[in-house]
Structures are given as C-alpha cells and as structure tokens.
Amino acid sequence: MSDNSLNNLPGGFKGMSQDMGSDQTAFKGVQWGKVMMWIFLLSDTFIFSCFLISYMKGRTSTVVDWPNTSEVFSLHVNGVAVPLLLIAIMTFVLITSSGTMALAVKYGYEKNRKMCGWLILATAIGGLTFVGMQAFEWSKLIHEGVRPWENPFGAKQFGSFFFMITGFHGTHVSIGVIFLFIYSRKVFRGDFDKGKRGFFTSMKSDYVAIEILGLYWHFVDLVWVFIFAFFYLW
Amino acid sequence: MDEIENKETVASTHKIGIYLWIWGLLFVLSFFSYMVDWFQFQGLLRWTLILIFMFLKAGLIMAFFMHLFWERYALVNVLLWPMTAIACFIGLMAAEAKYTVFTRLLYFFIGG
C-alpha cells in the first residue's frame, strides 16, 4: 500500500500512542486483511505454545527415560546411522521455501507477474516436498512400533506428543500448499494486475494478498524453528 | 534511508539483497543448530546454543521475512506483548512439572 502521509507521522512509541489514540484506524498503512492474518497467527501462536508447553511438562514430569531423539530420528546411509538427517533436510527445504516466498512478495509488489508466479509455485513445491518427507518419517516410525500410547524407545508420552505436534504443523503446511497452488494460478492468470473480483469475497484482487499468504507461510516456518529446537534437538 | 525512499513508492518493496542475506543467515544458523546435535554437546552448553540459534532464526524471520522491522510500533507491540503471557505460562508449567516429578519419585520409588 503506497501511502505518503505515513512518512509524516511520528515513529516509535510516540507514534504508537498517537496511532492508538487517533480515534481512527489504529494500524495505519496496514490493509485490514493483513491485520486479520496477524491476529489469526497470534491465536495460532497460542495454540502451538500450548502444545509445546504441555510437551515440556509431559517430558520433564515423567520418571521414565525419554527416547534419544538423535537415534530415533536417524537415517541409515550406506549402513551408517546419520542422526537427524531427514529432519535437517526438512528444515533446509522449509527455509528455502520461506526464502522463495519472501521474494515472491517482493516481486508481487513490483508487479512482476511471471517472477511472482514462479516463486509461489517453487514455494508450493518446497512445501509439498516437506509434507512428503514428513509422511515418510511418520510411516517409518509407525513401522518401528511408535504409537500415541506406546513406543519401543522409552517414555510412552513420546508418541502422543510427536504425532500431535508434528501432525498439527504438517496440517498447517498442507493447507498452505493448497493455498500456494491456488494463488500461483491466480497470479499467472493476472487476477492481481486486473483487480479481478474474487469468487469468495467479491473484492478486488490486490498484490497485498501475496504478502498475507506470505505471512502465513513464514509463520509455518517459524513454528518449525521452535519444533526443531524443542522436540528434535532437546 | 533506502527503506524510506522505497516506502514513498511502494510500501513493502525492499532491495533483493536484504532477503538473500537473511536467507543465507537462516541457512547458516540452521546448519549450526544441526551441528549442536552432530557433535553431541550436552548440558548447559547444548541448551544455550539451541536457544540462541532458535531465537536468532525466529527473530530474523519475523523482522525481515514478515516485515515487522518496517511496520509501525502500533502493530509490532500488539503482536509481541502477548508473548509475555506465554513466557509466564512456560514458567508456571516448568515449576508444576518439577513438582509433579518430585511427587512421582516420592510415591512411586521411595513410598509416601
């Protein structure tokens, strides 16, 4: 959104108190859909936090040894067990897709339709790869006997926390991938250049939608940063 | 400076270099956090390194990929202050977990 008047407003905390007390829109220069996405992501943060906090509580309060994650999640390459190999690859794939998304937002605002479309498509393929590798990881662990109620490696709570947390994150990735494919089609079709009205909201399409989609996608990457640190590395 | 000039034309267009830099940093930080497990650091060192790399990655993603660095404080503060509630909740549940494991050890193994 181009708004020259924003530059004349004071910044920092002074600007914040003026914005909030202006008896007008509080979030100046921010499109309403973007604010709504941020509020949604904030609520989603609370949900994921509750999952991770209950995991912390379950793990610290059990008297049985927790499974060694670097052994449980190791992959055998030429007969040698490499710890956390798949998880590391998944992390790099997700960061790559986050990078392509950030560039897609940039090219979207510059009205570079082709670049934006290809980058969103690349992001979607990255996300799809991630979900595929997660499906592989799940089936590997299920094959080894990990269940929400038991597992052969240690504390029984491990399985339920693993499937709940990574499953909820994987659901977010899958929904994101669906939206990425839809939006790459919309970009290639030129909806955002022509201001075509969307079939659901009947509002004019604008490239700010790509930034909103990007916020969601970066959030999915952000949550993975915390899951990677707390679930896999702890 | 550059940002302000860009803002006058289109609000959220920044130089491509900044995105590539952040992207590269995220790769390096992820590699480092993987190395923490690779070298099997344990104890306080492991926790310190994991948390440092985690917060750096999260901060870079939020500040630059999600553009919070360029947003006005009204939005930034509305988003970040609720996190203190989560921090309090973590503290409460960490204390609760310690108590639970204490009572379990007491009653399961020593016998109340």
3-class SS at A77? strand
Q: Which of A97, A163, A152 is nearest to A127 (CA)?
A: A97
Q: Which helix (H) or strand (E) holds A80?
A: strand A80-82
B112 Cα to chain A: minimum distance (Å): 16
A83-118 pLDDT per residue, tens: 889 999 999 999 999 999 999 999 999 999 999 999
Q: Are residues B64 and B85 in the same domain?
A: no
B75 with A38: Cβ contact below 8 A? yes
Q: Which of B13, B111, B33 is nearest to A110 (CA)?
A: B13
Q: Which of B33, B65, B99 to mutate to test the interface with A (most CBs of A within 10 A)?
A: B65
Q: Are residues B46 and B22 in the same domain?
A: yes
Tokens for A3, please give them: 């708004």
Q: Are residues B53 and B85 in the same domain?
A: no
> Measured between alpha carbons, how far is A56 from B86 in angstroms, rounded to an integer?
13
Q: Are residues B47 and B14 in the same domain?
A: yes
Q: Are residues B41 and B95 in the same domain?
A: no
Q: Is the pTM of this model over 0.90?
A: yes
B54 touches chain A (CB under 8 A): yes
A120-147 pLDDT per residue, tens: 999 999 999 999 999 999 999 999 999 9
Poorest-pLDDT segment among A37-51, B7-21, B33-47: B7-21
3-class SS at A76? strand
- Structural contact between residues B60 and B26, judged by C-beta atoms closer than 8 angstroms: yes
- Structural contact between residues A130 and A119, judged by C-beta atoms closer than 8 angstroms: no
> Measured between alpha carbons, how far is A27 from A7 in angstroms, rounded to an integer?
14
Tokens for B88, please give them: 């309090």
The boundaries of the domain holding residue B111 are 81-112
Q: How many domains does chain B have?
A: 2
Q: Are residues B15 and B64 in the same domain?
A: yes
> Measured between alpha carbons, how far is A105 from B18 in angstroms, rounded to an integer?
13
Q: Which of A132, A131, A119, A134 is nearest to A214 (CA)?
A: A119
Q: Are residues B67 and B85 in the same domain?
A: no
Residues 72-101 of A with CB under 8 A from B: 83-84, 88, 91-92, 95, 98-99, 101
Q: Does B95 fall in a domain?
A: yes
pLDDT score, position A136: 95
pLDDT score, position B6: 43
Q: Which of A135, A131, A145 is nearest to A67 (CA)?
A: A145
Residue of A3, A54, A103 lying closest to B19 (CB–CB) = A103
Q: Which helix (H) or strand (E) holds A26?
A: none
Examine the pLDDT at B4 and tell me if it is beyond 50: no
Kindly report the number of other CB atoms within 10 A of residue A154's CB atom: 14
Chain A residue numbers with beta carbons less than 8 Å from the beta carbon of B30 are 88, 91-92, 95, 228
pLDDT score, position A218: 97
A46-91 pLDDT per residue, tens: 999 999 999 999 999 999 999 998 889 988 888 888 888 999 999 9
Q: Does B76 fall in a domain?
A: no
Tell me, what's the ipTM? 0.90
pLDDT score, position B2: 45
Domains and CATH numbers, chain A: 32-233 (1.20.120.80)
Kindly report the number of other CB atoms within 10 A of residue B42's CB atom: 9
Q: Are residues B21 and B44 in the same domain?
A: yes
Kindly report the backbone phi and psi dihedral angles of residue A204, in degrees, each rounded to the nearest multiple of 5, phi listed first.
Answer: -65, 135
pLDDT score, position A127: 97
Poorest-pLDDT segment among A1-5, A17-21, A198-202, B38-42: A1-5
Chain B residue numbers with beta carbons less than 8 Å from the beta carbon of A12 are 73
> Measured between alpha carbons, how far is B39 from A55 in angstroms, rounded to an integer?
25
B37 with A15: Cβ contact below 8 A? no
Nearest CA in chain A to B34: A88
